[in-house]
Structure 1
């Protein structure tokens, strides 16, 4: 896919991008611009439109941050695994209300997220309209193109559903202001999401000519995920089982766990066997950074740290505490929240903490005084504002020093370019989703097997060492022993493994919501952490409201027909 982006993207944007621009509204979809539709109804035009639809995953067409599917704001900072970070006044209008659950329907970041999602949906629908008007495309290619476009449409609607709750479904037959005004959000769109993803699963090939294109197995994984979000455990399990047994990457490599945990996030593994689906990014491709990961660049350590800007998305104390283990290498499932790992903030004379820790911690979180990838020990100066963002640094997705030039181009503020792909789903995620299904409707033994596959990988991975060659901490991690016999205990262990294995990957808030525990977990988090983190003081999570974002004000207003809005606001806003 990266090669396709380099050669087609710019011309495709010129041809197609103007047809999907949201401008200042959700409903007012402009017609084709200066380029006639007939210019696009040919194989190159359709393929270019499809590339643009993939690019819609980045949200870059909106010209604003926090719009891509990586969800470090929406899935991370709204959860208990991360703080906003940075300093209190930076992005205060865009992020502070989100972190504190005070976001309003006219909030800028909320409106931009909606625009990006429905713009992406519009891009997919354009492909579906064009392909039907292009007879030169073979039947086989036509089916593949439709399946890819329907996957992208289903994916974007899935994102809209889990972020905004009550949302309208838009297919390729919806064109013109009147049609958009007639849309309603009073019915669940899960059936349509399922239909799009299932069509892709049933019709896509197992391999693709470009590695970034979705294949049958990635579509199946997302189809299963949509079923899981509806608690359709038996149906989801059947799909997950097939993907685990038979799934391959678009290159044809069998899905599996890479041997080293840290390598999952290395550029050299960005399209490897553990990656099910990702956003493809590049640098050094002659576009001046147009295809780089702009949102990821915001999460670099600050000042003289790797990247130099901007210090957002800092891990929480709660997350760091979750990596503590007992003498057997097992987590403290019930007591970890009250056992604080020491830092330069909590104990300036005795840090870093060298106690018994899961080794995944120091490849997920940066700790001052601990070697940070290949940059040497992390420094306190890398933290932008300790009181606001806390003592921990993002680590997992940050570039390594030896990746500079290939996957990262340094520069001044706003000029850095991060070219590593953004992982959206990986094999460990798939295993843990299937483990959830096994707990609910299948075999506790199978759930244990999946969790232990991940823990065994962690146990066999290398650990972070100081310059003298000694491990930084008393690292321990071990598989669970013996059979699981208690369903509730198994459920707790599977969910906890998702917390620590997938930390800082934008999943946590959505997991808490679909498990029905967001109010309990986040209220407890705010009550504890606000005693130290001034940015959280007075913040409150309201059950029945804050599980979803408000429908943007402009969407409701522009859906009015004879003064009555067809798009209704979410409860509590």
Structure 2
């Protein structure tokens, strides 16, 4: 999809990007009638739709460098929300040195205020996606060379994408303004028409977008990356879940589980190997409900089609050019400890810590932890002495920029394979890019969200079945990390020997029913922490469960005994939402008063 998007920019830059980035989304000047007339046909409106898909990653290739659609750094707006969802959720530290991109550390310790530029970048980029969707819908009204069914399907794609952008804004800032294609005339528009208050709950409008998409999207798409009706149903059910409408969400999730197919027509199912969800060679598989498509070395030039949102998040030194950010926390690593029965320690996992190599040089002896571990750990976290994909055993401190500050670990899920780097690594930018898709919703995510709904309905055995499906996949030795045949030559392949003492089992029959609803929900929440770790979900999950202050206070209390970077970290009630960017409030002034209202506490 992205390669088509860059063709689009060459033809219609003035339409999609005017005016300059000094203006906010809410102050866009109107497109001219001549420009609209040139696009009011089937080819033109489809080109605009591709531009809306192109906004999913928030990136733009400008003046020979990769920037986000607001003009800032790509990592500030990465669609996987590694900063806002995972670092702020306790999955990981910012990483690198404390002073490197210190604005992220402010956000991670919850002292970031409304003037932090990262919040403004995130706001602007999501609203740029909204604006593109609205323009598609506006132009579509005047297209005459499409059938009614074709127009309805294209409108459904645009509304699906708009629902995605608005749901991201809602999760981030909560109180955001709703602007759609009917808010004002695109041909006769004053900037004040876009100064819309943020005083309404927009979940109902997001619901309506996803409902329309679910009812009108095709089940099978002829282009990989385009949304289908099942992806829209999954998003709709997720929207209900965030609103705590469990009864409405549950049948939709169950329908997706029982009958859903990918846009290619493949029935949704968990892939056998967990890591196949994070390898460009095996992406767009049966577990990918909806993904952002990336590519590298595809002839488009530059880094425009590669994943640049994670450009900082590779081990420092070694075979990677940048940058030592996004280091998993000890709290996360300890969560993968299993008991003698292969089950997680739901409450006291930090009392069973996994051995680390803090303050041990890479030239000094170190023996990795020999205790029981969930095998997903080593597909999620790079740790000393364990194979780091096919790059060799992680050497510890030599691949860490500042161990004392942010700990001894490295992220894995975003890292490309050595064996296929010629095809899937993009080195054209100042930091690494790759072709690994980001899966916005995975099938395992659907199973665990359905488990929540079933548990809230009292159907604890069904909830357990969904959780066990996820655990049973992870427990299959076929998908475990194995040792190298020759550690000095990792590309020579692997043995059949597990790289650590992996011991993992499904929950025994009747365990959820015996434990009761509260216990079952605890087990489901913990399973999401393990399965979806480092994928940008954790903070938003904690907030919607109403346990963010409890969990993040516990996290800071424990984690600051290990590292120094978050010593001042503290979570307050106001932090269940991020601040409305002050720049946007300043730009919203109408009649002498700002239209946008700041969130409470900021």
TM-score when normalising by structure 2: 0.91
Partner residue of 2:501 out of 459, 474, 478:
474
Secondary structure of 2:565's counterpart equals helix
CA deviation after TM superposition for structure 1 residue 16, in Å: 3.6
Moved over 6 A (4+): none
Work out the CA distance in 2 between the residues paired with 1:204 and 1:12. 27
1:170 equivalent in alignment to 2:174: no
CA contact (8 A) 1:105 1:552 kept: yes
Q: Deviations over 1:490-519 (max 9, x none)?
A: 111111100000000000000000000000
| 1:424 aligned counterpart, secondary structure | strand
Partner of 1:325: 338
CA 1:317–1:227 in 2, change beyond 3 Å: closer, same or farther?
Answer: same
The structural deviation recorded for 1:431 is 0.4
Residue in 1 that maps onto 2:542: 512
CA contact (8 A) 2:2 2:305 kept: no
Name the structure 2 match of 1:295.
309
Deviation at 1:15, TM superposition (A): 5.8
SS in structure 1 of the partner of residue 77 of structure 2: coil
- Which of 158, 161, 165 is residue 156 of structure 1 equivalent to? 165
Structure 2 Cα separation of the partners of residues 421 and 262 of structure 1? 13
Contact 1:343–1:353, Cα closer than 8 Å, also in 2: yes
Deviation readout 1:113-135 (Å, 9 max, x if unpaired): 00001111001000000111111
Find 2:519's aligned residue among 482, 489, 507. Answer: 489
Change (3 A) 1:282 1:12: farther
The alignment yields a C-alpha RMSD, in angstroms, of 1.8
Supply the distance in 2 between the matched residues of 1:404 and 1:185 (Cα, whole angstroms): 45
Residue 488 of structure 2 is matched in structure 1 by none
Change (3 A) 1:35 1:403: farther
1:432-511 aligned within 5 A: 432-460=448-476, 461-467=478-484, 469=495, 470-483=497-510, 484-485=512-513, 486-511=516-541
| CA distance in structure 1 between the partners assigned to 2:401 and 2:175 by the alignment | 37
Spell out, residue by residue over 1:128-159, the C-alpha distance to the aligned partner (whole angstroms, 9 max, x if none).
00111111122121111100111111111111
The 3-state SS of whatever aligns with 1:297 is coil
Q: Deviations over 1:447-468 (max 9, x none)?
A: 1111111111111143223336
Q: CA deviation at 1:22?
A: 5.0
- In the alignment, which of 401, 407, 416 is matched to residue 390 of structure 1? 407
Alignment partner of 1:524 is 2:528? no
Cα distance in 2, alignment partners of residues 546 and 258 from structure 1: 36
Q: Alpha-carbon deviation of 1:34?
A: 10
Residues 70-89 of structure 1: matches in 2 within 5 Å?
Answer: 70-89=80-99
Counterpart Cα distance in 2 of 1:86 and 1:33 = 47
SS in 2 for 1:535: coil
Task: Please give the alpha-carbon distance, in whole angstroms, between the structure 2 residues aligned to 1:338 and 1:33.
Answer: 64
For 2:591 and 2:10, locate their aligned partners in 1 and report how far apart those are by CA, in whole Å: 41
Shift of 1:422: 1.2
Q: Distance in 2 between matches of 1:20 and 1:235?
A: 42
Conserved? CA contact 2:192–2:590, under 8 Å: no
Aligned to 1:262: 275
Deviation per CA, 1:65-121: give whole Å up to 9, x if none.
Answer: 3213210011011011111111111111x3111011011111110100000011110
How many angstroms apart in 1 are the aligned matches of 2:388 and 2:206?
41
Distance in 1 separating the partners of 2:208 and 2:19: 23
Name 2:135's counterpart in structure 1.
126
Superposed CA offset, 1:201-257 (max 9, x none): 111010111110010000110000000001000100011111111111111000000
Tell whether 2:215 aligns with 1:202: yes
Task: Describe the superposition over 1:514-568 as per-residue Cα deviations: whole angstroms up to 9, x where unpaired.
Answer: 000000000111111112221111221101x111111011221222222222210
Residues 1:90 and 2:91 aligned together: no
Change (3 A) 1:16 1:280: farther
CA contact (8 A) 2:334 2:350 kept: yes
Q: Is the 8 A contact 2:38 2:44 kept in 1?
A: yes
Tell me, yes or no, if the aligned pair for 1:233 and 1:441 is still in contact at 8 Å.
yes
Query: Unaligned stretches of 5+ in structure 2?
Result: 60-68, 185-189, 486-494
Contact 1:21 1:29 in 2 (8 A): no
What is residue 146 of structure 2 aligned with on the other side?
A: 137
Q: 2:594 aligns with which of 549, 562, 565?
A: 565
Q: Are 2:106 and 1:116 aligned?
A: no
**Residues 77 and 129 (structure 1 numbering): CA distance in 2 closer, same or farther, change over 3 Å?**
same
Q: Separation in 2 of the partners of 1:338 and 1:240?
A: 36
Show the counterpart of 1:23: 22
In the aligned structure 1, how far is the partner of 2:40 from the partner of 2:221?
23
Q: Does 1:233 align with 2:246?
A: yes
Residue 279 of structure 1 pairs with residue 292 of structure 2: yes
8 A contact 1:16–1:52 mirrored in 2:
no
Distance 1:235 1:444, change over 3 A: same
Question: Secondary structure of the equivalent of 1:110?
Answer: helix
Q: Deviations over 1:282-309 (max 9, x none)?
A: 111222111111112221112114x321
- Indicate conservation of the 8 Å contact 1:26/1:554, yes or no: no
Kindly report which structure 2 residues correspond to 1:179-218, keeping only aligned pairs within 5 A, or say none: 179-181=193-195, 183-218=196-231
Tell me, yes or no, if the aligned pair for 1:281 and 1:291 is still in contact at 8 Å: yes
Contact 2:316 2:400 in 1 (8 A): yes
Task: Give distance in 2, aligned partners of 1:571 and 1:12.
Answer: 43
* 2:452/2:463 contact within 8 Å kept: yes
Structure 1 stretches lacking a partner, 5+ long: none
Cα distance per residue 1:8-64 (max 9 Å; x no partner):
444455364225765332421122279722111121211111111111111112232
Aligned equivalents of 2:214 and 2:159: distance in 1? 10
**Most deviating of 527-536 and 345-354:** 345-354
